[in-house]
Chains A and B, each alone.
Chain A
Amino acid sequence: MAETRPYKKPLPRVDEESRGYWEALARHELYFQRCRDCGTARSYPRAVCPSCLSSATEWVRASGRGTVYTFTVTQQNQTAGFRDELPYVLAMVELEEGPRLVTNLVGCAPDDVRTGMPVEVAFEDVTGEIALPKFRPA
Chain B
Amino acid sequence: MSIWGTTAVVGAWEHPTRFAPHMTAFQIHAESARGALADAGLTIGDVDGFFTSGVGPIGLLSLCQHLDLRPDHVDSTSIGGSSFVSHCLHAAAAIAAGLCKVALVTYGSTAASERFAVGTAGLVMGEPPDQFEAPFGPTIVGSYAMVAQRHMHEYGTTSAELAEIAVTMRRHAGLNPHAKYREPITVEDVLASRVISSPLHLLDCCVISDGGGALVLTSAERARDLARRAVLILGGAEAVRHLGIGRHDLLDVAARQSGPLALARAGVRHDDIDCCMIYDSYTITVLATLEALGFCKPGEGGAFCAGGRIALGGALPVNTDGGGLSSNHPGMRGIFLVIEAVRQLRGEGGEAQVSDAKLALVHGTGGMLGQRHSGVTMILGRS
Contact = CB atoms under 8 A, between A and B. Distances in A.
Interface of A: 9-15, 17-18, 32, 40-44, 46, 50-51, 69-79, 81-82, 88, 90-92, 98-104, 110, 115-116, 126, 132, 134
Interface stretch (B91-99, B135-143, B331-339): B135-143
A77 B122 contact: yes
Interface of B: 117, 120-125, 128-139, 141-142, 145-147, 149-150, 153, 194-200, 243-248, 250, 370-371
B120 A104 contact: no
Contacts of A72: 142, 145-146, 149, 197-200
Given A41-B246, A70-B147, A79-B137, 20 more contacts: A13-B130, A18-B131, A32-B246, A70-B153, A70-B250, A71-B149, A74-B139, A75-B198, A77-B121, A78-B117, A82-B122, A82-B137, A92-B146, A100-B247, A100-B248, A101-B132, A101-B246, A102-B243, A104-B136, A115-B153
A99 B122 contact: no
Nearest to A100: B246
B146 A76 contact: no
B198 A103 contact: no
Contact of B137 (A88, A98, A100): A88
Nearest to A111: B198
A73 B198 contact: yes
A69 B150 CA distance: 7
Contacts of B121: 77-79
A10 B247 contact: no
B195 A73 contact: yes
Contacts of B137: 9, 74, 77, 79, 81-82, 88, 90, 104
A45 to B, nearest CB: 9
B142 A74 contact: yes
B243 A100 contact: yes
B138 A90 contact: yes
Question: Which secondary structure dominates chain A's binding surface?
Answer: loop
B245 A41 contact: yes
Nearest to A75: B195
Name, among A17, A102, A116, the residue most crowded by chain B CB atoms within 10 Å (CB to CB). Answer: A102
In the complex, which of the residues A18, A51, A79 has the most CB atoms of chain B within 10 Å of its own CB atom?
A79
A43 B137 CA distance: 19
Contacts of B246: 32, 41-44, 98-101
Contacts of A82: 122, 137
B124 to A, nearest CB: 7
A12 B129 CA distance: 10
Nearest to B199: A72
Contacts of A18: 128, 131-132
Contacts of A103: 136
B365 to A, nearest CB: 18
Nearest to A22: B131
Nearest to B243: A100
Top 7 nearest A-B pairs (CB, nearest first) are: A79-B122, A99-B246, A12-B131, A72-B145, A43-B246, A42-B245, A115-B153
Given A10-B134, A13-B131, A76 B139 contact: yes
A43 to B, nearest CB: 4
A127 B156 CA distance: 41
Contact of A115 (B120, B149, B244): B149
B136 A132 contact: yes
B197 A76 contact: yes
B196 A76 contact: yes
A90 B245 CA distance: 19
Contact of B125 (A10, A76, A78, A134): A10
A71 B132 CA distance: 16
Nearest to B248: A100
B131 to A, nearest CB: 4
B196 A116 contact: no
Contact of A40 (B194, B195, B245): B245
B243 A75 contact: no
B135 A132 contact: yes
A109 to B, nearest CB: 13
A138 B86 CA distance: 45
B131 A14 contact: yes
B138 A102 contact: yes
Contacts of A88: 137
A121 B134 CA distance: 18
A90 B125 contact: no
26 contacts: A10-B125, A12-B125, A13-B131, A15-B131, A18-B128, A32-B246, A41-B246, A42-B246, A50-B244, A70-B147, A70-B149, A70-B250, A72-B146, A72-B198, A73-B198, A74-B139, A74-B197, A75-B194, A75-B197, A76-B196, A79-B121, A79-B137, A90-B142, A90-B146, A99-B245, A126-B135
